[in-house]
Structures are given as C-alpha cells and as structure tokens.
Structure 1
C-alpha cells in the first residue's frame, strides 16, 4: 500500500525532537513484528516506516499489524533504494514547522533487541554528533573472517582519517542534513561505507555507540559465502566510486583529528571545504 502524502501539525512542544525509524525489509515475516514493536518503544520515536523490498511472504502485513506505516516495492530494488523510499515517506509526514525528524535506520532482523538502539538517539539530540552508529557485541555463529570489515575500515580511514570499530553496522541515527550528504545512497551493501565517508567529507561529526543488539548472522555455508561475496563487491563499488570522484577529506585537514581519535568518541575530520583553503 502506498502511503498518502501528508504534512503533520507541529507538536505541542516545539523543542522536543522527534525520531522516525526506517526499516528496509525483505522476507522478514518471522521477525518484523517484534522489530517494529521494539522500535516503537524507543523514546522520541513517533513514526516507524517499513519498506517491504519485494518480499514474497507476509512481511508487509505483519509490519502493519505491529503498528508501522508500510510501503512496498513490487520488485526488489536493494537496501539503498528501500532506505531512500523510507526517507521520502518520513519527509512527507514531517511537521509543517519545526525540526525535521531524525532518521533511525534499523535492520529488520533485530527483533526485540532493536530497543537497544535507543542509545543512538541521545548523541544526535544533544548535538554531540550528526550520525551515531551502533557497535554490536560479537555475534555468535558468524562465519566470516573479517575480510569485508577490514576493507571497509581501511577505505574509510584512508579517505577520512577515521577508523571505525563497526564500519558495516546498519543501525544508524542521523540528522536529515547528514542523510542528504550521502544521497543518493551507495547501492546495495555499500550503503554504510558510503554514508560514513560522505558525512565526514561534508564536515560533519560521527560517533560509534555500543548497543546490545543481535541479528541473524551469515554462516560459512555456501549461502553465507555468497552473501559475503555480494557484500564485498558492493563495498568495493562504493569505495571505487568515491575514489574516482576524489571524494575525500584532504589528508592535511584530518591529521590532527587522526591523532586525537579514540573508540566511542565523536570524530570530525574537518569543517568542510573551507578548511582546505586555510
């Protein structure tokens, strides 16, 4: 069902920042309802949007029954397209006056643990960062050897100076301005790497936050290896596209930030292109 465009009235307390959750989902009928309910319990969340990306099961019906606004892609378009659709829906439902909602990206398979992503909201509301990224505990049963993670971390570090703990984490809270810095989003599984680079190149601040979340892991079976190969390809595509455009923070600008960075502290490489002229 396509959402009806609407512009909501401004809340009674204009100073209270609201948050919209966006959940891209494909064939997640077994978990989506629990994820939606957990997201609705997060303080400041007043809108949960599930984008059903071409599911063949009852994902959309379960999400709607749990209280989400739903929109469906008739064919699978990929995670980036689903997030962009969700952001558009939120934009249509934002308040006439006052601040745009913060966007909280949540993976569909988190289930009840999605409530722990409430930890991502405070750094944005308090002005500590423009984008907060969840760092989950080590997931039991994961079959990868870290190749994709290392490639993503290395690319982000060489481009912006920042060496994230969880460069592929999909759980992110960000301002509308930070989202627009990354739009159009990198395709496929390159979304997270692209966002991290784009937000930092734009002169904004990121922070990682430990969150006690659990999700479905990919094992070392053929399906798991195929998934990681696809993920690796998309990450490399996002990296290469930015390198070809020379989309990066000049190393002279982030030298000082690199020396001062530490895990779980806010990081900003520079204040934007004006730094390069200084």
Structure 2
C-alpha cells in the first residue's frame, strides 16, 4: 500500500452548531486524503442536521444528547461500515464542530499517522481569542497524563485528533463526557501506542467568562476528574521502570521507548 491509497474519514460530534457546522464540513472535505465526513448530531434542537447534510456530510442523529464519547463511537462505527473489504481501514480524524473554515488547518495531523511515525496525533492550538479559563482543567489532565505515562503534552485536552483504526479500537470504551481525550491519551500510551502533538493553526469558539463558560469548564473538570480517578483506581499506568524518560515537545512519544 502507498500513502496515496490511504483514505481518511473526518468525524465531527455536534450539538446545536447550525451556524458553524456547514463551514466546518466544507473545510474538512478539503483536507488531503479525506473522502468521507461524518457528522454525529448529538440531540441538537436546531438545524445542525440539515446544515451538515447540505454541506456534504453523512449525518447520523442521536435523538437525545448522549455525550461526546458516544458520538465519537457512533461516528467510528459508521466509518467502519463504509470501509471496503480488501482496502485499509480509513484513518479517523476527529474535529470539533465549531472550527468553521479553520478546520482545514487540521491537515498536518494526518501526515505523521499516514507515514507511520505516530499512531495518534493531537493538535496543539495557538492561544484562542476570548478564552477566559484559568487552566484548572488543562492542569488536571496534564498532571494525570504525566503521572500515569511520563508524557508531558502541551495541550492534553485537545479534541482534534487523527489516529489509526487499531489505536481507536484499543482506546474503547471511551471515557464518558469531557474526560474522553484525557482517558484516550492515557489508555493509548499504556497500551504501547505512539502519540505526537502537532502545531495546527485552528480556531474554535472559546469559552468566555460568563455563566455559560463557567458551567462548561465545570463540566469539563468533572469529566476529566472522573476519567483520571477511574484509571488511578484500576492502576492504569506505565511502570516507572519501563518509561523512556522525558518527552520532547512535538516529537513522537512512546512511553516504553523506541
């Protein structure tokens, strides 16, 4: 197989994103190797479903909101049904629904996975205009990942990720709620997969300092806390004696070396 034979499916969990989902889908379709965009409408009460379909996405709808992890698994299952026997499984590129035209900037996530340098890539985003968080959620996730695996990611809760089907299946079942990215990172590194952060000039709607923004960050913190403590209780970690040592920013990291 050559890299030109490898296809990529974009999966976009979405809830009440009527105003942005169309632009996000169109931009995602422009990423090289992408031949399928799946939007999982997770119980929206607006026109998200219609807007996504009009923009060219395959749309699957949850009649009630089931959360991001469930939407990701639904999207991955739809892609698996579209994969063809005798051809390699598509790489899975997960994007947030609110990226708009900047979704095309996720293209650099594909190449390291396509080339076999990493099993999963994670977008490192520039500072987002209007962001009002104090770093509590990111700090919790960072410390948990470092403690469990030795890796020191710059943006541990980034939702823009490209990974192989094998890696995705190894991370299932995904952590519920907003802990999905932290749980996935820990589980993949403990399972021996290689992860890499990649700088991407992506812009998304930042959570502000109003009540809605504070509630969102509280929900994020709760999700990460539950994912982290569930793994601590089950002793999901890389033994310190087997760890490779300090990670280097933006280089592939395998917790067991190599």
Fold shared, TM-score > 0.5 on shorter chain: yes
Rounded Cα–Cα distance in structure 2 between residues aligned with 1:155 and 1:263: 18
Rounded Cα–Cα distance in structure 2 between residues aligned with 1:271 and 1:17: 27
Rounded Cα–Cα distance in structure 2 between residues aligned with 1:91 and 1:46: 13
- Among 121, 138, 141, which residue is 1:152 paired with? 141
Shift of 1:14: 9.0
Q: Deviation per CA, 1:86-125: give whole Å up to 9, x if none.
A: 0000000001112100000000000000000000000001
The aligned residue for residue 58 of structure 1 is 47
Shift of 1:16: 1.0
The aligned residue for residue 35 of structure 2 is 46
The 5 Å alignment of 1:69-218 reads 69-218=58-207
Secondary structure of 1:178's aligned partner: helix
The aligned residue for residue 222 of structure 1 is 211
Moved more, 28-37 or 222-231: 222-231
Shift of 1:140: 1.2
Q: Deviation per CA, 1:26-45: give whole Å up to 9, x if none.
A: 00000000000000000000
Shift of 1:271: 6.9
| Conserved 8 A contact 1:102-1:173 | yes
Rounded Cα–Cα distance in structure 2 between residues aligned with 1:189 and 1:69: 24
Which consecutive segments of 4 or more residues in structure 1 shift more than 2 A?
none
The 5 Å alignment of 1:14-25 reads 16-25=5-14
Instruction: Point out where structure 2 has 5 or more consecutive residues left out of the alignment.
Output: none
The aligned residue for residue 8 of structure 1 is none
- Among 241, 245, 248, which residue is 1:262 paired with? 248
Q: How many residues align?
A: 258
Rounded Cα–Cα distance in structure 1 between residues aligned with 2:205 and 2:153: 22
Instruction: Point out where structure 1 has 5 or more consecutive residues left out of the alignment.
Output: 1-10, 273-278
Rounded Cα–Cα distance in structure 2 between residues aligned with 1:186 and 1:15: 33
Rounded Cα–Cα distance in structure 2 between residues aligned with 1:208 and 1:214: 16
Secondary structure of 1:47's aligned partner: strand
| Bigger Cα Rg | 1
| Conserved 8 A contact 2:3-2:115 | no
Q: Deviation per CA, 1:149-196: give whole Å up to 9, x if none.
A: 011000000000001000010000000111011101000000100110
Q: Report whether the alignment pairs 1:252 with 2:241.
A: yes
| Conserved 8 A contact 1:204-1:271 | no
Let me know the Cα RMSD of the aligned residues: 1.4
Rounded Cα–Cα distance in structure 1 between residues aligned with 2:3 and 2:12: 26
